[in-house]
C-alpha cells in the first residue's frame, strides 16, 4: 500500500528505519548500556539527602548557629521511652530497663546513655513513665545498624512493661521496604495491555521497553545524585512516574503500529509511520512532562531541585527508549505482533449484518450525546470538579513524624509514651539560638518571656557555647508536631514575644517543629510562581504542537480543574480521614509538604500527554473534513480506547503505592491516581467535547493566521501527528 514516494521523511523517520533495520545492534547497545549504567549507578550510588532546611528562614538561621557554635550536639539521637504499670522502680522492671539501657550503650553506633534512674527529670512524678536520649555517634549509621536496637527494645516489652525507641533513624530502620508494590503495578499493567491488545506479544513490548528504560533511568538518576542531591523518596516517586509514562508511551506507538499493519503497510513502513506520528506525539508529551518537572527548580529548594532533575532523567530515558528500543523490538516481531491472541467475541455489528463503516462506537455515541447539550455538560462537569476541589481550601502542610506512623511501630510507641508522660511537645522541642558578645549573653529575659507564653510547657536554662559567641535554650510546647496550634505558637514567639523581650530580637527559633513550619510556609508562598511558570512553558509547547491558542488555553484550564479536584480528594482522605484507614493511612494527618508541590508539575505534564494524543487526532480530522463537530467525534472515537487503557495503567501503577509503607509516597500515589482518573473521564470524555463544541471554529484560532477553510482539503493520512 505504501509507495517509496509516500514514505515519511525526516529525522524521526530515518531514526526509525535505522533502529528497525539494525535492530540487533540497537538491542545489544541498549542491553550493554543499561548494564553498564546499572553497575555504576547502583554500585556508586549517591547517598540520599533528607535535610530540607536551608534558605533564609528563622529555623535555617538557628540551625546554622547550632552547627557553627555547638558542633558537638549535632547528630541524630534516639529516644527510649518506658512505661511500667507497676512503676519503673519495681525490681523486675528496673532489671529489664537497666539491661536495655546497657545494651543500647554497648552498640558501636551509640554514645553514652544516661539511665533514667540517674536523672529525676527523666521520670514522671508518679514514677510510671521514663525517657532517655541515646546519641548516635556514627553519622553514617544505616538502617541495618539501628535495626538491632529497635529489636532489643521491642523484645524487652511485655508483662506490664512497654518500651519504644523513637527518632528519625529508628523510624526508618523499622519501615519495611516498598515490597511488591511495583511488581503489582507491572502485573496490573500487563493485564490491561492484554485486554486492550488481545495479544501476549503486543502486551509484552510496552512492558519490556518500560522496564529497561526505568532500570537505566533510575541507575542514571543515582549517578546524577552526586551532583544534585535528592531525598530518599525520589527513587519511589521516579519509579512510579517512569513506569506509568514508559508503558503509556510504548502503548501509543504499538497501537499506531498495529493500525498501520491493518492498513496493509509492511512492518518497516508501519514502524516508521508509528514513530513519525505517535512517536512524535510521545516526544512532545514527554518534553512537556520534563518541562513541568523542572518547574520545581523555581521553588528555590535544593532538594526539590534534586527531585526534579532525577525524575526528569527517568522520563527522558523512557522517551529515548520509546523511539529507539521499541522500533527495534517491532523489527523482531513484524506481523507476529498479534501472536498468542486472546479469543474475541463476535462484534454485535458482525452478528446483525451492519456494515463496519456504518457502525458507531460507544465513544462516538457518547460524543454525540455531549455535543447535543454542550453547555449543560460543561456546566455539570465544571461544577463537579469544583465540588471535588473544595476541600483543598483547608489544606494544611507538614512533614510526617512518629505520630502518623502505623501503630505497631516502636517509634509510635515511643511517641505515645512520651506524650502521655511529658506532653506531646517533648517529641519535637523548639530550639532557640542567638549570637552573644564576648562577655557572654544574658538570655534570661528571652527565656522568661518564652516560658511565660501560653502554650509552652517547659523551658530549659540557657547554655553558652565553648567559644563564648553563642547561646541556646529549648522550649517544649504543650501541643504536638502536627497540631495547628504549634504553628500559631511559633509565629507568636517570633512576631510578638521575642521582639518585646530585651535582646530577644536577636534570638532565632529553630528545631524540628519550626523547620517543618518554615518549609511548609516557604512552599506555599512559592507554589503559585511555580504553577505560573509550568503553565506558561507548557502552553508554548502545546501551541507549537496543535497550532491553536484556544485549545492550549482550554487544556491549561481543564488541567488546573482536574489537579484541583485531586488536591481536594487528597485532603478529604488524608487530612479529614474519609476512607483514610481503608486506604492504609494510620490516622488523620496534614498533607506532606512536598506532595502538592510534586504533584502539580507531574500531573500537569501527564494531563498534557492525553491532551496531545486526543487533540492531535481531532486536529487531523478537522484538516480532513473542515467540520469541528465531526472532528471531535472522530478524534474521541479513535483515541478513547488507547487513552482509557493508558489511564488505567497509570491508575494501577500509582495506586500500588498504597501497598507500601511510606505515608508520603502513599499520598502522592493516591493523588496522582485520582487526578488521572478524573482527567481521563470527566475532562477528556465530557469537558473537551463540550467546550470544543461551544467554541466551534474558534478552537483553531491562532494570531496572524487566517481561519482554515471549511471545505474539505485532500484527505490526510489517518493519525498523522507529524502534520500537526
Tens of pLDDT, residues 205-260: 999 999 999 999 999 988 988 888 888 888 888 888 888 888 889 988 998 899 89
Question: 109 and 17 in one domain?
Answer: no
CB contact at 8 A, 610 and 249? no
Question: 328 and 243 in one domain?
Answer: yes
C-alpha 259/C-alpha 281 separation (Å) is 16
Considering the domain boundaries, does residue 718 fall inside one?
A: no
Considering the domain boundaries, does residue 101 fall inside one?
A: yes
Question: 693 and 547 in one domain?
Answer: yes
Confidence band of 472 (pLDDT split at 50, 70, 90): very high
Burial class (CB in 10 A: 0-12, 13-18, 19+), 525: exposed
Say how many CA atoms lie within 13 Å of 225 toward its Cβ. 27
Instruction: Tell me which of 52 and 532 has the higher pLDDT.
Output: 532
Section 117-146 average pLDDT:
89
CA 215, 671, 593, 513 torsion-angle sign: negative
11-20, 85-94, 344-353, range with the lowest pLDDT: 344-353
Out of 343, 378, 401, a domain closes at 343
C-alpha 65/C-alpha 220 separation (Å) is 36
What CATH number is attached to the domain comprising 259? 1.20.1640.10
What's 421-457 look like in SS3?
HHCHHHHCCEEEEEECCCCCCCCHHHHHHHHCCCCEE
Q: Tell me the per-residue pLDDT of 557-609, one tens digit each, with 9 for 90 and over.
A: 998 999 999 999 999 999 999 999 999 899 999 999 989 988 888 888 787 77
C-alpha 33/C-alpha 31 separation (Å) is 5
Question: 460 and 324 in one domain?
Answer: no
C-alpha 499/C-alpha 509 separation (Å) is 12
Question: 486 and 583 in one domain?
Answer: no
Considering the domain boundaries, does residue 183 fall inside one?
A: no
pLDDT in the model for residue 278: 86
pLDDT in the model for residue 712: 39
**Global confidence as pTM:** 0.84
Question: 691 and 554 in one domain?
Answer: yes
What residues contact 562, with CB distance under 8 A and at least 6 apart? 385, 603, 607, 675, 678, 679, 682, 683
Percent of the chain with pLDDT over 70: 91
Q: Tell me the per-residue pLDDT of 483-510, one tens digit each, with 9 for 90 and over.
A: 999 999 999 999 999 999 988 888 999 9
C-alpha 638/C-alpha 621 separation (Å) is 10
Out of 515, 549, 580, a domain closes at 515
Instruction: Tell me which of 676 and 719 has the higher pLDDT.
Output: 676
Q: Nearest 5 degrees, angle CA 328-CA 331-CA 332?
A: 95
Question: 389 and 333 in one domain?
Answer: no
CB atoms within 10 A of CB 376: 11
Question: 281 and 367 in one domain?
Answer: no
pLDDT in the model for residue 720: 39
Q: Quick check: 438 pLDDT over 60?
A: no
pLDDT in the model for residue 342: 60
Confidence band of 3 (pLDDT split at 50, 70, 90): very low
What CATH number is attached to the domain comprising 149? 3.30.70.1320
What is the count of structural domains for the chain? 4
- Tell me which residue has cell 556514627: 138
Question: 678 and 552 in one domain?
Answer: yes
C-alpha 443/C-alpha 437 separation (Å) is 12
Considering the domain boundaries, does residue 520 fall inside one?
A: no
Q: Quick check: 533 pLDDT over 80?
A: yes
Q: What is the bridge-based pairing of β-strands 470-477 and 508-510? A: unpaired
CB contact at 8 A, 433 and 508? yes
Q: How far apart are the first and last CA of the chain?
A: 23
What residues contact 342, with CB distance under 8 A and at least 6 apart? 194, 195, 198, 199
What residues contact 11, with CB distance under 8 A and at least 6 apart? none
Considering the domain boundaries, does residue 499 fall inside one?
A: yes
Query: Residue 471: phi, psi to the nearest 5?
Result: -140, 155
What residues contact 721, with CB distance under 8 A and at least 6 apart? 277, 278, 280, 281, 616, 617, 620
Q: Tell me the per-residue pLDDT of 322-337, one tens digit each, with 9 for 90 and over.
A: 999 999 999 999 988 8
C-alpha 620/C-alpha 724 separation (Å) is 7
What residues contact 305, with CB distance under 8 A and at least 6 apart? 228, 296, 297, 299
Domain that holds residue 115: 77-166
pLDDT in the model for residue 340: 67
Q: Tell me the per-residue pLDDT of 281-291, one tens digit each, with 9 for 90 and over.
A: 889 888 888 98
Section 144-152 average pLDDT:
92
Confidence band of 718 (pLDDT split at 50, 70, 90): very low
Out of 166, 189, 211, a domain closes at 166
Instruction: Tell me which of 473 and 5 has the higher pLDDT.
Output: 473
C-alpha 81/C-alpha 413 separation (Å) is 8
Give helix 594-625 / helix 302-333 axis angle, nearest 10°: 40
Q: Quick check: 444 pLDDT over 60?
A: yes
Considering the domain boundaries, does residue 244 fall inside one?
A: yes
Question: 481 and 425 in one domain?
Answer: yes
Which of 173-177, 292-296, 360-364 is predicted most confidently? 292-296
pLDDT in the model for residue 49: 78
Across the chain, mean pLDDT equals 86
pLDDT in the model for residue 722: 35
Considering the domain boundaries, does residue 179 fall inside one?
A: no
What CATH number is attached to the domain comprising 453? 3.30.70.100
pLDDT in the model for residue 98: 95
Question: 202 and 134 in one domain?
Answer: no
Considering the domain boundaries, does residue 51 fall inside one?
A: no
Nearest Cα to Cα of residue 228 among 92, 49, 90, 103: 49
Question: 454 and 330 in one domain?
Answer: no
C-alpha 273/C-alpha 268 separation (Å) is 9
Measure Cα distances from 465 to 140, 220, 507, 696 in Å.
Answer: 25, 44, 15, 73
Confidence band of 711 (pLDDT split at 50, 70, 90): very low
Percent of the chain with pLDDT over 90: 43
CB contact at 8 A, 160 and 85? yes
Q: Which residues of 199-220 are buried (b: 16+ CB within 10 A; e: fewer)?
A: bebbbbbbbebbbbbbbbbbbb
Amino acid at each position: 500500500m505504501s509507495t517509496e514516494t509516500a514514505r515519511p521523511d525526516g529525522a524521526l523517520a530515518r531514526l526509525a528505519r535505522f533502529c528497525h533495520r539494525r535492530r540487533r545492534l540497537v538491542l545489544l547497545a541498549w542491553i550493554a548500556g543499561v548494564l553498564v549504567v546499572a553497575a555504576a549507578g547502583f554500585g556508586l550510588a549517591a547517598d540520599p539527602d533528607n535535610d530540607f532546611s536551608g534558605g533564609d528562614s528563622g529555623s535555617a538561621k538557628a540551625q546554622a548557629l547550632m552547627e557553627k557554635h555547638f558542633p558537638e550536639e549535632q547528630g541524630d539521637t534516639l529516644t527510649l521511652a518506658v512505661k511500667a504499670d507497676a512503676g519503673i522502680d519495681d525490681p523486675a522492671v528496673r532489671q529489664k530497663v537497666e539491661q536495655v539501657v546497657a545494651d543500647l550503650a554497648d552498640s558501636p553506633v551509640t554514645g553514652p546513655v544516661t539511665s533514667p534512674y540517674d536523672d529525676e527529670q527523666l521520670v514522671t512524678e508518679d514514677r510510671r513513665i521514663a525517657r532517655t536520649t541515646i546519641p548516635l555517634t556514627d553519622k553514617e549509621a544505616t538502617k541495618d545498624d539501628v535495626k538491632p536496637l529497635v529489636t532489643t527494645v521491642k523484645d524487652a516489652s511485655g508483662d506490664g512493661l512497654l518500651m519504644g525507641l523513637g527518632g528519625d533513624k529508628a523510624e526508618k530502620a523499622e519501615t519495611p521496604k516498598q515490597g511488591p508494590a511495583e511488581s503489582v503495578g507491572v502485573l496490573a499493567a500487563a493485564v490491561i495491555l492484554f485486554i486492550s491488545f488481545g495479544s501476549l506479544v503486543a502486551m509484552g513490548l510496552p512492558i519490556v521497553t518500560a522496564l529497561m528504560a526505568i532500570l537505566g533511568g533510575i541507575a542514571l538518576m543515582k549517578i546524577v545524585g552526586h551532583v544534585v542531591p535528592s531525598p530518599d523518596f525520589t527513587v519511589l516517586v521516579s519509579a512510579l512516574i517512569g513506569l506509568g509514562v514508559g508503558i503509556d508511551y510504548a502503548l501509543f506507538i504499538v497501537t499506531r503500529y498495529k493500525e498501520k499493519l491493518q492498513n496493509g503497510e509492511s512492518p518497516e513502513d508501519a514502524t516508521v509511520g508509528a514513530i513519525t506520528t505517535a512517536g512524535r506525539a510521545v516526544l512532545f508529551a514527554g518534553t512537556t512532562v520534563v518541562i513541568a518537572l523542572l518547574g520545581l527548580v523555581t521553588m528555590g529548594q535544593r532538594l526539590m531541585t534534586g527531585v526534579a532533575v532525577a525524575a526528569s532523567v527517568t522520563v527522558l530515558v523512557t522517551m529515548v527508549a520509546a523511539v529507539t528500543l521499541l522500533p527495534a523490538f517491532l523489527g523482531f516481531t513484524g506481523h507476529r505482533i498479534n501472536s498468542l491472541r486472546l479469543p474475541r467475541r463476535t462484534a454485535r455489528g458482525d452478528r446483525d449484518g451492519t456494515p463496519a463503516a456504518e457502525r458507531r462506537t460507544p465513544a462516538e455515541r457518547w460524543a454525540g450525546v455531549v455535543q447535543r447539550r454542550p453547555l449543560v455538560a460543561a456546566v455539570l462537569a465544571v461544577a463537579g470538579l469544583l465540588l471535588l476541589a473544595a476541600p483543598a481550601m483547608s489544606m494544611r502542610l507538614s512533614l510526617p513524624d512518629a505520630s502518623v506512623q502505623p501503630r505497631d511501630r516502636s517509634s509510635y510507641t515511643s511517641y505515645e509514651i512520651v506524650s502521655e508522660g511529658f506532653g506531646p511537645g517533648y517529641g519535637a522541642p523548639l530550639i532557640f539560638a542567638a549570637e552573644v558578645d564576648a562577655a557572654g549573653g544574658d538570655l534570661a529575659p528571652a527565656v522568661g518571656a518564652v516560658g511565660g507564653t501560653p502554650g509552652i510547657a517547659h523551658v530549659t536554662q540557657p547554655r553558652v557555647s565553648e567559644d563564648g559567641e553563642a547561646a541556646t535554650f529549648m522550649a517544649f510546647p504543650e501541643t504536638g508536631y502536627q497540631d495547628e496550634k504549634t504553628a500559631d505558637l511559633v509565629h507568636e514567639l517570633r512576631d510578638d514575644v521575642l521582639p518585646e523581650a530585651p535582646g530577644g530580637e536577636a534570638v532565632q527559633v529553630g528545631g524540628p517543629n519550626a523547620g517543618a513550619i518554615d518549609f511548609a510556609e516557604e512552599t506555599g508562598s512559592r507554589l503559585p510562581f511555580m504553577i505560573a511558570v509550568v503553565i506558561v512553558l507548557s502552553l508554548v509547547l502545546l501551541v507549537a504542537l496543535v497550532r491553536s491558542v484556544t485549545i492550549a488555553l482550554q487544556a491549561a484550564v481543564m488541567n488546573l480543574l482536574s489537579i484541583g479536584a485531586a488536591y481536594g480528594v487528597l485532603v478529604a482522605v488524608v487530612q479529614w480521614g474519609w476512607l483514610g484507614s481503608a486506604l492504609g493511612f494510620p490516622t488523620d494527618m496534614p498533607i506532606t509538604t512536598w506532595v502538592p508541590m510534586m504533584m502539580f508539575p507531574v500531573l500537569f505534564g501527564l494531563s498534557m500527554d492525553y491532551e496531545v494524543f486526543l487533540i492531535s487526532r481531532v486536529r487531523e480530522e478537522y484538516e480532513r473534513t473542515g467540520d469541528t463537530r465531526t472532528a471531535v467525534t472522530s478524534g474521541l472515537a479513535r483515541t478513547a480506547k488507547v487513552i482509557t487503557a493508558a489511564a488505567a495503567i497509570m491508575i494501577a501503577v500509582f495506586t500500588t503505592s498504597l501497598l507500601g509503607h511510606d505515608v508520603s509516597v502513599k499520598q502522592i500515589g493516591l493523588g496522582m491516581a485520582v487526578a488521572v482518573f478524573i482527567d481521563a473521564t470527566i475532562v477528556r470524555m465530557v469537558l473537551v467535547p463540550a467546550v470544543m463544541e461551544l467554541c466551534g471554529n474558534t478552537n483553531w484560532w491562532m494570531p496572524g493566521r487566517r481561519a482554515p477553510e471549511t471545505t474539505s482539503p485532500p484527505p490526510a493520512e489517518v493519525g498523522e501527528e507529524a502534520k500537526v
